[in-house]
Amino acid sequence: MTVTDDKTIVQNYFNNVGFDRWRRIYGDGEVNKVQLDIRTGHQQTVDTLLGWLQADGNLAGQRICDAGCGVGSLSIPMAKMGAIVHGSDISERMIQEARSRAQQELGEIPNLDFSVQDLEALRGQYDTVICLDVLIHYPDAQVPAMIQHLSSLAHSRLILSFAPWTVGYMLLKKVGDFFPGPSKATRAYLHRRFDIVDILESSGWHLNRTALTKTRFYFSYLMEAQR
């Protein structure tokens, strides 16, 4: 499959059945047990990341790019904390939802904006670039170019998360538990930690902080790299 095919499939998924599924998971309404588990795990990843940003004590005024921002689960709290946030996503419906949630929570604020964009078409310079739980949509062969592009946008920090490849998770994925029910409309790609570290180091980064979030159906390895 070509890069364009993969992206079109992901984009269609997150504009249709995937939108409905993930909007619910990333919300606070009623969901099934598996979705609740994924919601809990994802929120833990978001909280860990917000904790890192807060601990550094310099979030206010930082220019942050949230690439593949979904419904704004991270962009909105970062903007609330005073960062200047640009969230973008390949799915128009995810961005519509992000805008509507931001409006409800924050009203019109000048330090948060959203755009519909493939992350590899993003331009500009940011203090920090964040790409949370998006690498799962990228096969190994496409990961280096994607990370190198995000690197080119980031002045001092790049934060990524991905589903780590381990034998256990590979089996779980194979038996189909990873994306429950009819949501198996996109492929889920797991990545090896050392592959991601290699790509980061060859792009001039060193690893600063890491965290693994693991619930029954959600697993995400968070990495913060600095220049």
Ligand X SMILES: C[S@@+](CC[C@H](N)C(=O)[O-])C[C@H]1O[C@@H](n2cnc3c(N)ncnc32)[C@H](O)[C@@H]1O
**Contact indicator for 186, 13 with CB cutoff of 8 Å:** yes
Contact between 222 and ligand X per CB under 6 A: no
Contact residue for ligand X among 76, 79, 84, 90 (CB under 6 A): 90
Amino acid at 94: M
Contact residue for ligand X among 134, 154, 158, 190 (CB under 6 A): 134
Contact between 87 and ligand X per CB under 6 A: no
Contact between 98 and ligand X per CB under 6 A: no
For strands 112-116 and 126-131, give the pairing.
Answer: unpaired
Contact residue for ligand X among 62, 91, 151, 203 (CB under 6 A): 91
Contacts of 47 (CB under 8 A, 6+ apart): none
Contact residue for ligand X among 86, 97, 129, 133 (CB under 6 A): 133
Closer residue to ligand X in complex, CB, 22/205: 22
Closer residue to ligand X in complex, CB, 145/201: 145
Q: In the block, which residue shows the tokens 């919601």? A: 39
Chain residue whose CB lies nearest ligand X: 70
Give me 150's structure tokens. Answer: 């995000």
Contact residue for ligand X among 118, 127, 164, 193 (CB under 6 A): 118
Residues of this chain, 141-200, that bind ligand X according to CB under 6 A: none
CA-CA distances (angstroms) from residue 156 to 39, 69, 126? 30, 20, 8
Contact between 135 and ligand X per CB under 6 A: no
Strand ranges of the sheet holding 154-162, from the earlier edge strand across to the other edge: 112-116, 84-89, 63-67, 126-131, 154-162, 219-226, 206-214
Contact between 213 and ligand X per CB under 6 A: no
CA distance 112 to 169: 36
> What residues line the site for ligand X (CB under 6 A)?
7, 10, 14, 22, 26, 68-70, 73-74, 89-91, 94, 118-119, 132-134, 137
